Chains A and B, each alone.
Chain A
Amino acid sequence: MATQTVAVRRPLAMRAGFIRSAFAILKGLWITNRHFWRNLWGFIIRKPTVFTVQFPEERLVQPNAFRGMPVLVQMDNGKERCVACGLCEWACPTDCITIYPAETADEIERYPRVFDIDMSRCMFCGLCEEACPEEAIVMSQNVEICAYSRRGTLWHKDDLLVPVDKLLDTRLFHVRRGYDR
């Protein structure tokens, strides 16, 4: 089949879009340039304005609402607040939580015998925290979940426990403010 050349005349709006995108590129270059020159000037006058954090020596302070990896709240008596109701396991979109409940003689008769979170699958969505009726699983500030093996990314109950005081002025504060509203 013989090819046929068709002259296309683009509508005005499309041509205007091309001009706008060219302008956007220039704008982006301008921002990069501005930071470059500002930083260079900062180095010259010995007042650097760089935003790079020298991790791991330096760390950012995260806002209270920050969602890092989920952790289990540890009560003052050293036990977990979790009663193994399984709602987080059910709510988890990536199925990264595994719970096996068991019974104790305590007043709270049920506890998780096994509480595992596969951190390599967790996506920090916070649905487990939202599903929890006991305020027992909350998101923490921690995002450091690297390990040398897959097995190392599987966090068990003892690894996940965090004393309640440590969470009170961060994520728990935010969660409770949300419920109060």
Chain B
Amino acid sequence: MPKITIDGREIEAPANAMLLPVALENGVHVPHYCWHAKLSVDGSCRMCQVEIEGSPKLVIACNTPVREGMVVRTQTPAVQNARRGVMELLLVNHPLDCPICDKAGECLLQDYSYAFGSRQTRTKEPRRKLQKRKEIGPRMILDQERCILCRRCVRFCREITHTNELGVFNMGDRSMLDVMEGQPLANDYSINTADICPVGALESKDFHHKLRVWFLKKTPSVCPSCSNGCNITVHHYRDRIWRMMPRRNDAVNESWMCDHGRLNYQQVGDETRLRQPQLRRTAKLQTVAWDEALGYVARTLRDTVRTHGAESVGVIASPHLTNEELFRLGQVVSLLGTKNVDTALVVGQGDNLLIKPEKAANARGARDMGLRPTAGGLNVAAMLEAAAAGKLRVLYILGSDVWKVADPQALCGALEKVGCLIVQDVFDSPLTERAQVVLPSLTWAEKTGTFTNVKGRVQQIHRAVAPRDEQPSDGEIFSRLLNQLGEGQWHFEATAVLEEIASAVPAYAGISFARVGAQGFALPESAGDAA
């Protein structure tokens, strides 16, 4: 462990580490453009120059390994002069696009220009003209004039996605960033290049000219699109989500997230969402009050269990719900006494970077909370068969994944035979068309709770946008059902339910929101996945 001194402070650095990350970790801010924690060192921006005692010239901190007894100064006049020079060179050709640039407000060039640049321009020559607004992929736009040639995106495409679409062409002051001929930036992780771009050269089409970044409020959360559970920050404003950004978590997603997950927020603010419970009294679904709908559901479930036995009720759970909600659902199921409970899970394509085949955030959590058929119980396919044979009188379906999983013909046949179909979902679907009762569900962005990812890491999600019309969460719906079905006063409060989980589910023993924290809590290895 070499000991070094930065600005008079003694710091113990890990062996073979580079100077820049050591300084940043210890709270010494050394400005940098091309260095990124998850990419290789390039050393092309020259912004991180520092003074080292005994060295004849300034050196770049990102490519200088720490050495025992090294004395580093980051605030000397020589360093400040070098930074001002670098800034001036970068700004020679950088267009004055700040008012229309989406990066303005989170742009490193802006920030460092305020902090280290000079206030005047000395050049009078016209700025370099290159291509603006170039479509380089289905989700990305390139503005070559704004690029400062830090090559972060080039390294990302080379080292992380191994697709090599981007490159710097020409030499010297004619260098410019572009995509390879006939090879658009179309990989599944392309929008990450917009995140790591220190300026507004690479922009996501989805967020292009949408909102100034300084209005955005940030809520840490977890991506709901697959079971990898990438840590994200939800950027929202005026109760609407505007974009999602990856949040660094070295155990899960490092600094990246896939484009599919990132663009999967539109459903939250969709106008066609179900907002009110509906009940089919005649041929048509009618909007009813919550108490009426839940009363009907509870009455139907209780009467069916009483007259036809618990085995005539089936529950198909959704792996999009939080652990807390699924735990409450489990309580409803055990109160009914039915063994016919399963989770409908869409399994698709995965890759070896982040995307996992299980296309739901909490597939593992649903298994851990016991929402799968136990001995004598029916799974999804068997439930549909039983329904088609007229043995299943009430089917309670959460989410619409079963529509994608089951054979459509078998499903339609089964649903026609079911006496009472209860559907709880976010959107209208072929399921709600056939339902007796429709209960609207909340999306992940409107609730607080935990998801368990495929590797058994429990992570928190937080409410980013408020639900409309005080719409209750799914957990609240289950709690109210419990109140109607049996004795007791159940409420739904995620913190309290997680405590219940901690004492009821062995694998989750001792878990709490405090222990889950911002970076998640890995379940012990012994608590293997039930699947």
Q: Which residues of A contact B (CB under 8 A)?
A: 83-87, 89-90, 100-103, 108-110, 133-134
Q: Which residues of B contact A (CB under 8 A)?
A: 98-100, 104, 132-133, 208-212, 214-215
CB of B341, distance to nearest CB on chain A (Å):
46
Minimum CB distance partner of B213 in chain A: A86
6 examples of A-B residue contacts, CB within 8 angstroms: A85-B99, A90-B214, A90-B215, A100-B211, A102-B209, A133-B98
State which of B100, B208, B210, B215 has its C-beta within 8 Å of the C-beta of A85.
B100
Q: Contact: A85 with B212, CB < 8 Å?
A: yes
Minimum CB distance partner of A101 in chain B: B209
Q: Contact: A86 with B133, CB < 8 Å?
A: no
CB of B210, distance to nearest CB on chain A (Å):
7
Minimum CB distance partner of A104 in chain B: B209
A-B contact sample (13 more), CB < 8 A, given A86-B214, A87-B99: A83-B99, A84-B209, A85-B100, A86-B215, A89-B212, A101-B210, A102-B209, A103-B208, A103-B209, A109-B100, A109-B133, A110-B100, A133-B98
CB of A60, distance to nearest CB on chain B (Å):
36
State which of A85, A89, A103, A134 has its C-beta within 8 Å of the C-beta of B104.
A85
Contacts A83-B100, A85-B100 given; indicate if A110 touches B209 (C-beta within 8 A): yes
Q: Which residues of A contact B99 (CB under 8 A)?
A: 83, 85, 87, 110, 133-134
Q: Which residues of A contact B209 (CB under 8 A)?
A: 84, 101-103, 109-110
CB of B371, distance to nearest CB on chain A (Å):
42
Q: Which residues of B contact A103 (CB under 8 A)?
A: 208-209
For the complex, give the distance between the alpha carbons of A89 and B215 in Å: 10
Q: Which residues of A contact B214 (CB under 8 A)?
A: 86, 90
Minimum CB distance partner of A99 in chain B: B212
For the complex, give the distance between the alpha carbons of A126 and B176 in Å: 42
CB of B101, distance to nearest CB on chain A (Å):
9
CB of A54, distance to nearest CB on chain B (Å):
44
Q: Which residues of B contact A84 (CB under 8 A)?
A: 100, 209
Minimum CB distance partner of A98 in chain B: B238
6 cross-chain pairs, A with B, having the tightest CB-CB distances, nearest first: A85-B99, A86-B212, A110-B100, A103-B209, A101-B209, A83-B100
State which of A90, A102, A108 has its C-beta within 8 Å of the C-beta of B212.
A90
CB of A27, distance to nearest CB on chain B (Å):
52
For the complex, give the distance between the alpha carbons of A9 and B446 in Å: 70
Minimum CB distance partner of A110 in chain B: B100
For the complex, give the distance between the alpha carbons of A87 and B104 in Å: 11
CB of A31, distance to nearest CB on chain B (Å):
51
CB of A102, distance to nearest CB on chain B (Å):
6
Q: Which residues of B contact A89 (CB under 8 A)?
A: 212, 215
Q: Which residues of B contact A100 (CB under 8 A)?
A: 211
Most buried by B among A85, A100, A102: A85
CB of B477, distance to nearest CB on chain A (Å):
35
Minimum CB distance partner of B133 in chain A: A109
CB of A16, distance to nearest CB on chain B (Å):
54
Q: Which residues of A contact B98 (CB under 8 A)?
A: 85, 133
For the complex, give the distance between the alpha carbons of A87 and B99 in Å: 8
For the complex, give the distance between the alpha carbons of A100 and B100 in Å: 13
CB of B146, distance to nearest CB on chain A (Å):
13
Minimum CB distance partner of A102 in chain B: B209
For the complex, give the distance between the alpha carbons of A95 and B209 in Å: 21
Minimum CB distance partner of A134 in chain B: B99
Q: Contact: B133 with A101, CB < 8 Å?
A: no
Q: Which residues of B contact A85 (CB under 8 A)?
A: 98-100, 104, 212
For the complex, give the distance between the alpha carbons of A75 and B126 in Å: 25
Minimum CB distance partner of A85 in chain B: B99
Q: Which residues of A contact B132 (CB under 8 A)?
A: 109
For the complex, give the distance between the alpha carbons of A116 and B420 in Å: 50
CB of B143, distance to nearest CB on chain A (Å):
10
